[in-house]
Amino acid sequence: MKDFIKIETISEIHQFLGLAKPKHPLVSVYRIGSALNNLRVDNFRYSIGLYQISFKDNCTLTITNYGRNSYDYQDGTLIFTAPNQVMEFKKAEKAEVNYGWTLAFHPDLIRKSELGKKIEHYSFFSYASNEALHLSDEERKTVAEIAKKIEKEISTNIDSHSQTLIISNIELLLNYCVRFYDRQFYTRTNLNQDIASKFEQLLKDYYNQEKQLVFGIPTVQYCGEALNMSPKYLSDLLRKETGQSTQDHIHQYIIEKAKNRLLNSNESASEIAYALGFEYPQYFSKIFKKKTAMSPSEFRKNLN
């Protein structure tokens, strides 16, 4: 069994990486550089209690277990990890100098700030590592400049303005990443449309094989795993392509099937709910009314 390493603080991650003591207890911008050559990372599983945004350029490090996929860093990519995600790493046999950087910050840094209230809205912290953000040259410059501002602020004497400025720049960086991910979704339109088609076929196959009778209505988690991507990424992709999330698509598909059964059978609403995989008929009726502005019985009465 692989050893498990749990890192909770900025000081602990600096110590683990063999870096100098951090200049701020809750946030750091660090560069491993050639120290990566001497770092033993194989055969360990890691849980790091920090938010991390890592830019990798000419990197020889591979995440072998994160989001169900292996991922070899390409030049100019950003990857995001939320606190307490479990990861494994593997280092190339002939390691080269890593010219990237990592911004790491403890949840306590932003806990009382506006950013702390909405950090979960940045869904890319839940993406699998093979869904990393690939940056253009101009985008690299933008994120690097913001990281340098944060690093400079950490390095100066801490005063009453330091935390506000650091958090503001972290939020600025995250907002740029939202823009850059939108660009990445847009430039991969053909691939995204193919995934959207596969998703629709996945729902059809699920019901054709009557899996709903055993497992219930398909979940967002199930759909993501079946398409080999994280649930958050799938929802964001579908929302960019169609304006609807994965959950919305699932519900819409089920409601269309329900409409057909309401108009072409004598089954009660409860019988239809159970046949479609709902554990509770009341939940089916709630979703149906939300999508159609009518209850199942009203729909049947008005259209028959």
pLDDT tens digits for range 82-137 = 998 877 766 555 545 455 899 999 999 999 999 999 999 999 998 987 789 999 99
Instruction: Report if pTM > 0.75.
Output: yes
How is the chain split into domains, by residue range?
3-187, 190-303
Q: Which of 158, 74, 77, 78 is nearest to 166 (CA)?
A: 158
Cα separation, 241 vs 249, in Å, equals: 12
Sign of the torsion angle spanned by Cα atoms 63, 229, 110, 134: positive
Cα separation, 200 vs 270, in Å, equals: 25
**pLDDT tens track of the chain, all 304 residues?**
567 889 999 999 999 888 899 999 999 999 876 555 555 656 677 889 999 999 986 544 444 443 433 333 345 899 999 998 877 766 555 545 455 899 999 999 999 999 999 999 999 998 987 789 999 999 999 999 999 999 999 998 888 899 999 999 999 999 999 999 999 998 888 878 888 899 999 999 999 999 999 999 999 999 999 999 999 999 999 998 888 999 999 999 999 999 999 999 999 999 999 999 999 999 999 999 999 999 999 999 887 6
What is the dotted CATH code of the domain comprising 3-187? 2.60.120.280
Cα separation, 127 vs 282, in Å, equals: 33
In the CATH hierarchy, which fold is given to the domain comprising 190-303? Answer: Arc Repressor Mutant, subunit A (1.10.10)
- Looking at residue 45, its pLDDT comes to 77
